[in-house]
A and B are shown apart, each in its own frame.
Chain A
């Protein structure tokens, strides 16, 4: 720890005055020339509004003004530069440690002071869009951007996030992503260039979503299916995290079976929120009781599914939702579908989309299908709709 002490910084985003710190995270020195690695989400507010904020880093020796060189919002990394200081930078590891080997992480939790936390490296998360190291260690906010090191003191990753309510499960960004960032070209830090760079990265993310999710969900006949009650739908690609629940409402005589899938570790962009997320849900409702209980449950289900409606209108980030309601028929079924689309104001071509499809075409059976995607192109969303909605059917093929 003593060796690394001065190479680990507290990263602050502030708006001018010397005391006010708007955001706080950690970072570490990786070169003699003053390159500091931290998280994108630590400096996100600066990237969103560089006129309003400034960056600085702080270590045992003092405070240094910092300059943003480049960032990678998909992997949640950013590279800063400070004037060269007489501190030995941390070395980047050449390979991952063994699973189960012990590791340490450094950072500045809640700005309270430099802390060292010990943990275990558990390999990589199986689900999800981006590579994440699974770490058994209790990271805290403010430690984001700090280094994760092996026994030899080499950096193997960067602290990134914790699971809420899980006691000591944390995640790290593999060091390979830092190396890639170090090799990438820098961007200018005026507002327009930063915004263009965010747009470019979002477009790249969309491209990847399209290849890894949209194509898989929308092309050809479904090879594998998954059953939800008597419904059957195309099995989502393996990178989705899926779960089953069911619930019986005795009073209404209604049984609900739910199957939901989403993507883990989708990036969060300052102000916009989650991007590149695709969320799929299907709920089968079966009624033993009277019609009103059934309609009540179905209507409530559909109503509660709508999230885009809750979005604040004219917030300057997204357009107001544009919605279209229609009864449609697919090869297998008939639905009432309500779709809403909101376009990104600062990143042309990207949308948040939400689709709720309801069906009552079968006695005592109803289904509510939800599809939500963020930071996606119109074409991708339509392809997803075609793939998901066009393929749902009652299990016996009727």
Chain B
């Protein structure tokens, strides 16, 4: 069986199924697949059985020719779904086999059915909200002895979340739609809900790490977590579900975002390094359930100060040598 489709901007406009080749395509009514378009010749092209058993589309001396992409071709072998242009018209040819049907998981089907409803949006909102509250509860600042208004803090934050999540989802929706992706608000809201949980996951790693690692190791870990979270966010945003197979498009989109983010981070870090800007952090976390974090003995710290002092002196000596040279 052979399917021949007339393809429009976003969807198939007409499909005809044939038992066997040859199939003639053109403007004249005696063709098997008629394309009534002025740029198509009366007898434009024909699908033939190739000697190797496959199919091939042949140009029959048409005025505007046969094109694969922008390239003009005398004949085009058919492999999988093959799209080509006859004049101004785009058609898709596919040899159909009996094992082409894929099994659709029930969950996918449900998702497909429900995605435009209000219920999945509410569910996404709930997931996001739960994530936010979990994150707040995980943060030591909430449990610090200085915090007196725990409930107000959590409730206020949750209320803000109820507003922020839909707005962020809408922004993502606009971005994806602009990029030509067919997604719905419920899709982006779900993506946003997972992004909230990503933040929770980072906190769940970072908070205990604060009490175990030294500040410099913690700084490295935090940087790493930020990069990983950004990459994951990009992947989630780019991978937001779209019906139909388009893995390559998604992959390229995600890769572009990741490269951009890494580029920004890299340029910023390099700029700071070159300008000699010291890395300072004043991250002060309160004791969390009695833990106040790993600490070093004062004498050990003085030892590491001696090391950086020596480094500074070496650097100064190099500058001095350079100045004397000039």
Query: Do residues B312 and A338 form an inter-chain contact, with CB atoms below 8 A?
Result: no
Main secondary structure of the interface of A (DSSP, over half): mixed
Chain B contact patch, size range: 35 or more
Query: Do residues B149 and A290 form an inter-chain contact, with CB atoms below 8 A?
Result: yes
A140 within 8 A of B: no
B279 within 8 A of A: yes
A50 within 8 A of B: no
B82 within 8 A of A: no
Query: Do residues A323 and B278 form an inter-chain contact, with CB atoms below 8 A?
Result: yes
Complex Cα spacing A65 to B159, Å: 79
A200 within 8 A of B: no
A-B interface pairs (CB < 8 A), number: 164
Partner of B275, one of A313, A328, A341, A348: A313
A394 within 8 A of B: no
A355 to chain B, nearest CB (A): 9
In the complex, residue of chain A having the shortest beta-carbon distance to the beta carbon of B275: A313
In the complex, residue of chain A having the shortest beta-carbon distance to the beta carbon of B281: A325
Given A292-B141, A364-B145, A386-B298, A318-B316 contact (CB < 8 Å): yes
In the complex, residue of chain B having the shortest beta-carbon distance to the beta carbon of A327: B295
Complex Cα spacing A342 to B316, Å: 8
Given A326-B301, A336-B215, A364-B145, A303-B309 contact (CB < 8 Å): no
B 61-80 to A, binary, CB cutoff 8 A, 1 in contact else 0: 00000000000000000000
Contacts of A322 in B (CB 8 A): 278, 308-309, 311-312, 315
Chain A contact patch, size range: 35 or more
Query: Do residues A348 and B316 form an inter-chain contact, with CB atoms below 8 A?
Result: yes
A133 within 8 A of B: no
CB-contacts of B273-294 with A (<8 A): 275-287, 292-294
Query: Do residues A295 and B305 form an inter-chain contact, with CB atoms below 8 A?
Result: no
Partner of B298, one of A289, A298, A328: A328
Q: Give me 10 other A-B pairs in contact (C-beta within 8 A), A295-B284, A358-B282 excluded.
A: A289-B148, A303-B282, A313-B276, A316-B319, A322-B311, A322-B312, A341-B312, A345-B319, A351-B309, A382-B302
Please, could you name 6 A-B residue pairs with CB atoms under 8 Å apart, sorted by A?
A309-B278, A326-B295, A329-B296, A336-B283, A343-B312, A348-B313
On A, residues with C-beta under 8 Å from B are: 287, 289-292, 294-295, 298-299, 302-303, 306, 308-309, 313-314, 316, 318-330, 334, 336-346, 348-349, 351, 358, 360-361, 363-364, 366, 378, 381-382, 385-386, 389-390
